[in-house]
């Protein structure tokens, strides 16, 4: 009896799921409301995409910015300097931003001027990386979590290692190297310069990947 009752309930549920348009949005809402909501959402996504891209690029320090307290190629986690203070170049955050910007470069709809700007931002980031890799006497070596935007080591009380930072940075620069190769018609000179930075980070990763860390 119990088994039969549950069987009837399951059958009723399956029948409900088979009903045409049971969960169809246009069956729940009038067509004009559904269409207007869809258009509004698409319009918001387009506006938000442009807004987000603009502010991502604004977080890159550039040699043309005239910003004396930031080194070209540094990417701040946030322009906020108090409550909270996040005006630092975090290795892992910067790498994730760069991976996103590289994905933009593969969009054939971008105009050439914007592509040139993105490439300059990425080249600045590469040089900033080269600078950071050359710093001495860092507490955590390449695993240092963050740096001041002028490219000097963070020496304040809070700091800990973030050992995934160099791995993410290696991935980002490798992705840029692959883009450079595609655009260079077989000339790998620039790519080899980038591979050297990747190897430095990967060498660090091979030494710490089994260690507990953040």
What pTM, to 2 d.p., does this model score?
A: 0.79
Extract the tokens encoding 22.
């049971």
pLDDT number for residue 111: 80
Residues 109-163: tens digit of each pLDDT: 778 888 899 999 999 999 999 999 999 999 999 999 999 999 999 988 877 889 9
Q: At what angle do helices 164-183 and 112-133 cross, to 10 degrees?
A: 140
Residues 44-91: tens digit of each pLDDT: 888 898 888 888 999 999 866 656 789 999 999 999 999 999 999 999
Radius of gyration for the alpha carbons in the chain, expressed in angstroms and rounded:
25
């Amino acid at each position: 009896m119990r088994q039969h009752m549950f069987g009837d309930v399951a059958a009723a549920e399956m029948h409900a799921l088979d009903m045409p348009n049971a969960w169809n949005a246009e069956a729940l809402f009038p067509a004009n409301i559904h269409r207007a909501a869809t258009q509004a959402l698409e319009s918001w996504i387009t506006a938000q995409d442009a807004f987000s891209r603009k502010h991502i690029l604004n977080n890159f320090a550039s040699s043309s910015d005239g910003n004396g307290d930031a080194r070209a190629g540094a990417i701040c986690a946030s322009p906020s300097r108090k409550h909270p203070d996040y005006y630092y170049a975090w290795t892992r955050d910067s790498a994730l931003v760069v991976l996103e910007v590289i994905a933009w470069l593969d969009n054939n709809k971008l105009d050439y001027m914007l592509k040139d700007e993105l490439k300059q931002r990425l080249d600045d980031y590469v040089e900033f990386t080269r600078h950071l890799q050359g710093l001495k006497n860092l507490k955590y070596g390449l695993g240092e979590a963050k740096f001041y935007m002028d490219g000097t080591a963070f020496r304040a009380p809070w700091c800990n290692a973030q050992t995934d930072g160099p791995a993410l940075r290696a991935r980002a620069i490798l992705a840029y190297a692959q883009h450079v190769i595609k655009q260079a018609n077989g000339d790998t000179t620039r790519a080899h310069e980038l591979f050297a930075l990747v190897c430095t980070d990967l060498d660090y990763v091979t030494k710490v990947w089994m260690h507990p860390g953040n």
